[in-house]
Structure 1
């Protein structure tokens, strides 16, 4: 049993201003506090509109005008307010985790103080933000890069690992020296064909080697890569304004828009000198990811942060051998390729053999799986980590769940059974409750992701961008956060878990 008290005279004075007895007044405060904390199935209706003044909410409640005590009872909570002159004593009896109960008492205590001072206070303003420290409680895993620029970091690693194997595909091996030469040549050709920073370059390459080479060249000029599907190139090219495509010719009947330049991998072969100083990008590029009939633009800062986090979190080093396949998910391709090359490891092309067999045959150390892929059968004993985007963490600590959306790169990570987990370094996860405030543990709310994971916004759709990418009131000036639409809460271990709709 936990208790707080409120002065009898102050409470009576405030209750009298709205024409209700103290017990009825307290029952309404209970209703607002429990309503914030997600209570249901209670003896007093929780608020529906959090903008209304407390006085108006009180007038809607069917509670006795005169009573010696106020009671709020639910399955796990019983709140009782009893008049013990010269105070009212509020007692909380519960079977909640301690952190949840403490948060409820804090909400109740603050709401009482504000409503006693002014019973016309809007319901939402009876409460305040929980500590923002919870939102920033990341895993603190991060690799200090040798160069604070993704392109420079990749080039530095290529110089140091020049004779090591960067890419293995179908029995062939490409060293870091060969890869750097190919990237420089591709960069020169793309620039000669007019590709510049913030432009879109389509990738329709058939091999992983060509895909990796072009991807790195696109990042180097500060542009964004767009993974094209096997068919129907025309629609994504028109939607994104892409004017340069590297890869195979389009399928029969697939119309490329007028003005699009198609470059085959053979067109990119040749020598290229170093970039002139004026041609060096001020920042690395990114990619475009398809989402709900449109595209979202991801840029350099979240990708740099992800790379630095991934190297430590997934125990990556120059002996890492990471399986990769181009697919149609640009974020997944980035996670497979770029951190591996930043640390000096080897990217292994996925072949047609069963996954388990290739893991053993190619001595793979890391596998990234998409939603819905079954873990049974994967030889975990041969792997350092299996990363699953979507689904639940496995029983083995080497199985890591990554939470990513097209609008964010990896933002949350979970191990050991937590449904969503907690933020990675550099990312904030804010649970915004019904009142619009940061929620304390146990209180459900909408998940907003901020920090170094947020995309630039939806391509050519400012209205949708403004709706989902909003200013972050808890971040530095100019910071933004992404409203995911997921209902979550903090559990008593500091992890985020889903809340059923």
Structure 2
């Protein structure tokens, strides 16, 4: 375990220590494939050698476009071993977005699986090492200021922005979470749950560098509670990171007693923890909950709190970090008063790649720290409680967290306004009650155009990741404004319950299976009109809602299907045919 009183060791240095100490211990497990620490060391060395043979040098950026699996861990460590920084390029993202990210980051090479659509013309591409290239030559000790990765987050100008984080920031993150008691002594068994495109993944996969075993969860593992529970038990997983939204999907499976009375440690972040969830975890004998808060710009986590008692809070700064609650004049706010949270310390990112102006705007001089240091404006409003911990009060700007994803509505609005039929747009998160939250776009037509929800959805999906595509589209003559000319979100009307499908010819559900599934969708999605041609996810469905659909189908039809099958057959008519093929002996009554 790291000594908080010393400069933290680089993650790759710690990995080499783990290799020497426990070469035969399982380092990574993904499905049926496993790698020992010695095998992981050999494979990362070979891939780093390939990168070196291409002329990759210290500080270069390498695109990584791989799915979940052992190869992804190999690639990320190999990039660090070559002295470079990795840039995650999720193969599920639209090609246009991937091309922009590749160009914007200036990637020097691309590590991608064979058959993956290229999104970086003129850039060397690697898959597995050929075996003819020697391991990378021994690199000089990394400087803490060397870049470790560039992660792209939503940008208010309509384009994502790349946050460049340092190797020193990663080292300080691991050391701080150890010093805070969030990480138990190694070896632990850690489930890697988050997408590599999101910063929470760093404090999951990089745990291998301290000698922990990383169990890579597949998409199927993540979405199926029973399957996940079985996997956690089979591999003796100690630690699981998830969002409060994901907890809703997994609650029943995770609160069940574990074999041998083992305790599962949960790291929760990405969005505010509801009071009910906090109390549920705090009161569970088999769970130990930690609330972790931090923006990407501060290397994943800035505060940590054990989930005890009844009231959610952020805790206090992780060891080695500094935080300030300031007013608009950058003056400290008295305890109990509301202010904006500023963060400082060794985990601050370098800034936004290629955007010095934006970097200067968000990373400002720290008047309370050593000369020359900076602090980051989080945009989060907080209050210091009487016990010294921080209470989260909301955002000071329009940035939102939606199902654990951080996004700028302005980026979605810019994409919609690029459509020839849209002159203005506003995107908000609406709480639909039992159906949960969904993204709704309010659009003003250009030149008398008739807006089509289907065409707007298709246009948005071509440029944005799936989680940023609105499910509802409401035409307005004009956007409501406050007296000072700003968008009046409170005056935006409630969207109709037809899911924006009114312009499509109604294809009424036909037959007992379509009718039953339509009734289930209507209940789960909170929409009155459901067509046989409707797409579950285009209407705002997500994994938690899909699980509810599966549960109701089992109860009402007696048919057992998985969440994965809902993803495979998202159109109502297709799902009905699939269900019918599994239930032909005893169809439900009409």
Question: Do these two structures clear the TM 0.5 threshold for a shared fold by scoring above it?
Answer: yes
1:196 to 39, 57, 65: 57
Change (3 A) 1:146 1:421: closer
Shift of 1:371: 5.1
Q: What SS does the aligned partner of 1:245 have? A: strand
> What residue in structure 1 maps to residue 291 of structure 2?
401
> What residue in structure 1 maps to residue 70 of structure 2?
209
Change (3 A) 1:178 1:328: closer
Residue 334 (structure 1) aligned with residue 202 (structure 2): yes
1:480 to 357, 374, 378: 374
> What residue in structure 2 maps to residue 377 of structure 1?
252
Aligned residues: 356
Shift of 1:275: 2.5
> What residue in structure 2 maps to residue 260 of structure 1?
123
Q: Distance in 2 between matches of 1:307 and 1:270?
A: 35
Residue 346 (structure 1) aligned with residue 226 (structure 2): no
Change (3 A) 1:147 1:484: closer
> What residue in structure 2 maps to residue 359 of structure 1?
232
**Contact 2:59–2:83, Cα closer than 8 Å, also in 1:** yes
Change (3 A) 1:276 1:348: closer
Residues 374-402 of structure 1 deviation map (CA, whole Å, 9 limit, x = unaligned): 25224355444101112316233511111
Query: What root-mean-square deviation, in Å, do the aligned CA atoms of Structure 1 and Structure 2 show?
Result: 2.5
Normalization by structure 1: what TM-score? 0.66
Moved more, 175-184 or 373-382: 373-382
> What residue in structure 2 maps to residue 152 of structure 1?
13
Change (3 A) 1:435 1:247: closer
Q: Which runs of 5+ in 1 are unaligned?
A: 1-140
> What residue in structure 2 maps to residue 89 of structure 1?
none
Residues 17-41 of structure 1 deviation map (CA, whole Å, 9 limit, x = unaligned): xxxxxxxxxxxxxxxxxxxxxxxxx
Q: Distance in 2 between matches of 1:497 and 1:249?
A: 48
Change (3 A) 1:207 1:142: same
Normalization by structure 2: what TM-score? 0.56
Q: What SS does the aligned partner of 2:268 have? A: strand
Shift of 1:186: 1.2
Shift of 1:319: 3.4
Bigger-Rg structure (1/2): 1
Q: Distance in 2 between matches of 1:463 and 1:469?
A: 10
1:499 to 369, 372, 393: 393
Q: Distance in 2 between matches of 1:350 and 1:434?
A: 43
Change (3 A) 1:441 1:164: same
Q: Distance in 2 between matches of 1:317 and 1:391?
A: 28
Shift of 1:361: 2.2
Q: Distance in 2 between matches of 1:371 and 1:270?
A: 47
Q: Distance in 1 between matches of 2:23 and 2:357?
A: 47
Q: What SS does the aligned partner of 1:407 have? A: helix
2:272 to 370, 379, 391: 391
Residue 174 (structure 1) aligned with residue 65 (structure 2): no
Q: Distance in 2 between matches of 1:208 and 1:307?
A: 22
**Contact 1:243–1:259, Cα closer than 8 Å, also in 2:** no
Residues 160-181 of structure 1 deviation map (CA, whole Å, 9 limit, x = unaligned): 1111110112222211111111
Q: Which runs of 5+ in 2 are unaligned?
A: 283-287, 397-590
The aligned runs of 1:72-87 (5 Å cut-off) are none
Q: What SS does the aligned partner of 1:379 have? A: helix
Change (3 A) 1:368 1:288: same
1:298 to 140, 159, 165: 165
Shift of 1:226: 1.1
Q: What SS does the aligned partner of 1:441 have? A: coil
Residue 289 (structure 1) aligned with residue 130 (structure 2): no
Q: Distance in 1 between matches of 2:141 and 2:389?
A: 42
